[in-house]
Structure 1
């Protein structure tokens, strides 16, 4: 007779797998500076040098967060969802860059996506995906033609230095959701004395969120460190539309499905989708909507995209409609079901809009450089291109096999990169709505892809990819290379 093995035992002092025996204590960040040829990468245009290695401290689990033994020896989901450590970078006052011969030139207008005005006005401003986008006044605001979403004019929103802030003080919070807040003892002094053109970084590592000043000589010291009770912060984003030297709007998505709107300079916060009031699944990706002060988009792990307003109260969500752009509304890469439209007149509470994309986890979303389209990849192996302003599905594609984990746009919006569980980076043409190349070089899942805006022009492109094989690969391709044959091109042998 087959008998299941007993559940694992956790001896005293080693309650958590992967932690050394003994008392678990919280450590500090460490910074290492490396020299030598093993920390250099030689490519055609020169040598890349690794200067600093910042190791973020892993916080101990919360005392009440005891591991749950699972008697199933094949179980793989005994821990809450994690997304690894991610960075949200913010330059409050970007400086005017000098002429750079490597900077991209203005590309021809795509058939389906015009070059953003922001790039035309300042071609030296790099746009590394959605983090530095949408300075263009021509980018429409989501829901601007719905009177129910019109902002209430106040004195505050006319003055950027007096942006509305959350109501609750996170340092003095008595919420069980926030375990501990550790602000720097000289926070205000450091903010006043720092170079405004320096880089802020927000990073998540397990149940901790760290706010760092990467331009400081003591970049290992947190400006603020927040420890949450049990939830892990999986994703975050800084609003580029509202950022200033006196105000930053940061949103955080958690494994518990909660969302936090955090203003770090005043140390105020608000909790949205509290205890899963609207959607109870974890948040895998989160972004502020282009040119919007209040609206942001959250991708939940049950395959739902939800637009929230940071200042609205939550209300239990009941679908208002079941409209689909596909005949098969149940599953498949072409599924797109509108459960609440942005045009709804019921906008007194969250959510603002709800779209059911898939029955599997959404892994990554990315806005096009012109702020008009949205690329979505999910665990079902699908890449979907959506005109989110019109709430329409434009195209849907599938991976070679397995789920897709990451997606990004080229600086001119002509190409889309995806990476996934097939160990392949795929290049898709947005204008032609087709796959144009597969790049083979990784030996494990691809976890992130990004274009290098300084090495992209109207004919040639450079991008990098990282994977679970611990490799950083740099790739070059040209429009001419992609046009050599009608068959799908395979690019191998990265630089």
Structure 2
């Protein structure tokens, strides 16, 4: 039986007309214009993959998990960093550089982590930046090995092109790959994109005809890539580390320039659950975090071997330093604590993966995001199908806050560039803004007509520390832009705000405190605004605070400044770059919208 041909060719177009323009306050800001519309070729199912038995969405035998197009953007040497707001310290923060990851280095290091040597290689020494140092100081077994010339960097061993693995179906590098890499400007944009079982490496800064031709295309056999991430700490002009998570539970560590890879969690030796999100730990060369559909978060090391894993603590319960297990609000031992620690990051058993394993009940984790200032605010925002937003201190392995959705599941999450706010989108068709420092909901943003699939802040707009621009896309095929300023929020009439209600009715906040400390869980908050001072209180001794659903009658509402249908299919990704807004849909369209010239110029003036 003849093997079906594989669709290989991407298509690039440049639509023109008013329907391909985004007007955002024309008199003030200008018009965003669609420059490139790239349609990724979607490969057919692998010949050995069982065909779908029914196209009926209500069928009892669904196909394998799939995700729309997700993008990882890589700029080797950006011409400029975002405006000063992206680096400004927040109220109560002691760190002056946040979003650029140019954090305070270890005392023995003399240079910033984002500097490079003359040969283009990063100046790795005894340690990484502070975020990684904190992790490694918790367990010396996680400290990278040192050689005569400093930190030893391992590379994947298996050649991707010559691999005979049954996991990879085919690899197609560009005929002139090396030439294109040599001609690529360090200031240009690399895109890594997934669509079903295909994974593509694209150069968005190449000449127009070549943009549609991927630098490399990887086709997997019976595995769909659902998520991926680039290590921005280790990237150089000749090195890019990428990790990918598949619906089979497999993880691929891929080094783009050498075209070599390592397969992690092979044979589901650690977890058989599909991977929904994967991210490098901020400032770490080796460690990355993956969320699985069974509700677990697992920290892996790209250089360690895998081993069969069983929880190290009985029933997965965590035992804090004081020896007290999590308890419920009435003081009884809680058999279902808010955070199970199956293996601690401080475990002495670090000869193999996993480095750490945490479980958040048995609901699917839909997304997570690291805070942008890990040295002073090492938090992780996690959203799941149970309709909750969890804030976790991933260094102390403690759950600090649990916020509920208005209804339905949360689907996406991100942090503001200064780490003060968390943004979520969900099945309630709402974009919700939360304040980490005030520990409350700030505003609900109405405008979508279906589930929200991606949210992101724009660090290149309104960057004065008081104003924020963020965007969202959803299954309604719409792109929405929002401007946020505390002074512009409209609070509905009647009722008390969340801060006022918390101050007046402390008993309405349920928590999981340690015995005898129930009052401390809420007394850490100010009686007037619940404001946290210098970040103190999030990791106090009171345990996790489980917040109430706040009524829409007392929550501020924020209307969008722009709303428009920008694609023909469900949207799946959104990103903001200096000169573009990039969107992607489930059908494979990647679209780059150029910013108005006055917006680009204004950001450049702010940096001068």
TM over 0.5: yes
Q: Is the 8 A contact 1:103 1:454 kept in 2?
A: no
Determine if the alignment matches structure 1 residue 280 to structure 2 residue 272: yes
Q: Is the 8 A contact 1:113 1:414 kept in 2?
A: no
Determine if the alignment matches structure 1 residue 236 to structure 2 residue 228: yes
Q: State the match for 1:471 in structure 2.
A: 478
The whole-number CA distance in structure 1 between the counterparts of 2:101 and 2:54 is: 57
After TM superposition, give the deviation of residue 358 of structure 1 in Å. 2.6
Determine if the alignment matches structure 1 residue 182 to structure 2 residue 175: no
* 1:203-226 deviations in Å (ceiling 9; x for gaps): 100101101111111111111101
After TM superposition, give the deviation of residue 111 of structure 1 in Å. 3.9
1:413 pairs, out of 419, 429, 433, with 419
The whole-number CA distance in structure 2 between the counterparts of 1:462 and 1:257 is: 35
Q: State the match for 1:223 in structure 2.
A: 215
Q: State the match for 1:126 in structure 2.
A: none
Q: Is the 8 A contact 2:387 2:409 kept in 1?
A: yes
Q: State the match for 1:308 in structure 2.
A: 300
After TM superposition, give the deviation of residue 73 of structure 1 in Å. 8.8
* 1:338-391 deviations in Å (ceiling 9; x for gaps): 110011100001000000013111111101110211100011111000110111
* 1:59-89 deviations in Å (ceiling 9; x for gaps): 1111111315379994355211112110001
The whole-number CA distance in structure 1 between the counterparts of 2:55 and 2:232 is: 47
Determine if the alignment matches structure 1 residue 327 to structure 2 residue 327: yes
The whole-number CA distance in structure 2 between the counterparts of 1:89 and 1:120 is: 16
Q: Go from structure 1 to structure 2 and tell me whether the alpha carbon gap of 1:377 and 1:115 turns closer, same or farther (over 3 Å shift).
A: farther
Q: Is the 8 A contact 2:76 2:188 kept in 1?
A: yes
Q: State the match for 1:357 in structure 2.
A: 360
Q: Go from structure 1 to structure 2 and tell me whether the alpha carbon gap of 1:488 and 1:25 turns closer, same or farther (over 3 Å shift).
A: same
The whole-number CA distance in structure 2 between the counterparts of 1:210 and 1:408 is: 24
Q: CA RMSD in A?
A: 2.7
Q: Is the 8 A contact 1:112 1:431 kept in 2?
A: no
1:489 pairs, out of 553, 556, 559, with 556
Q: Is the 8 A contact 2:101 2:373 kept in 1?
A: no
Q: Is the 8 A contact 1:110 1:413 kept in 2?
A: no
Task: State which drifts further: 476-485 or 287-296.
Answer: 476-485
Describe the SS at the equivalent of 2:137: coil
The whole-number CA distance in structure 1 between the counterparts of 2:371 and 2:490 is: 23
* 1:406-453 deviations in Å (ceiling 9; x for gaps): 000111111110001110000101001111111111010000001111
Task: State which drifts further: 143-152 or 78-87.
Answer: 143-152
Describe the SS at the equivalent of 2:460: helix
The whole-number CA distance in structure 1 between the counterparts of 2:87 and 2:228 is: 30
The whole-number CA distance in structure 2 between the counterparts of 1:208 and 1:269 is: 16
The whole-number CA distance in structure 2 between the counterparts of 1:297 and 1:95 is: 29
Task: State which drifts further: 451-460 or 317-326.
Answer: 317-326
The whole-number CA distance in structure 1 between the counterparts of 2:555 and 2:389 is: 17
The whole-number CA distance in structure 2 between the counterparts of 1:330 and 1:222 is: 51
Q: State the match for 2:410 in structure 1.
A: 404
Task: State which drifts further: 75-84 or 305-314.
Answer: 75-84
Query: Where does structure 1 lack aligned partners over 5 or more consecutive residues?
Result: 1-11, 16-22, 123-135
The whole-number CA distance in structure 1 between the counterparts of 2:402 and 2:95 is: 21
Q: Is the 8 A contact 1:104 1:454 kept in 2?
A: no
Q: State the match for 1:110 in structure 2.
A: 91
The whole-number CA distance in structure 2 between the counterparts of 1:309 and 1:245 is: 23
Determine if the alignment matches structure 1 residue 29 to structure 2 residue 22: no
Question: If the length of structure 2 is used for normalisation, what is the TM-score?
Answer: 0.71
After TM superposition, give the deviation of residue 158 of structure 1 in Å. 3.6
The whole-number CA distance in structure 2 between the counterparts of 1:68 and 1:157 is: 52
The whole-number CA distance in structure 1 between the counterparts of 2:102 and 2:398 is: 30
Q: Is the 8 A contact 2:73 2:192 kept in 1?
A: yes
Question: If the length of structure 1 is used for normalisation, what is the TM-score?
Answer: 0.86
After TM superposition, give the deviation of residue 140 of structure 1 in Å. 4.5
The whole-number CA distance in structure 2 between the counterparts of 1:280 and 1:120 is: 33
Q: Go from structure 1 to structure 2 and tell me whether the alpha carbon gap of 1:73 and 1:170 turns closer, same or farther (over 3 Å shift).
A: closer
Q: State the match for 1:194 in structure 2.
A: 184
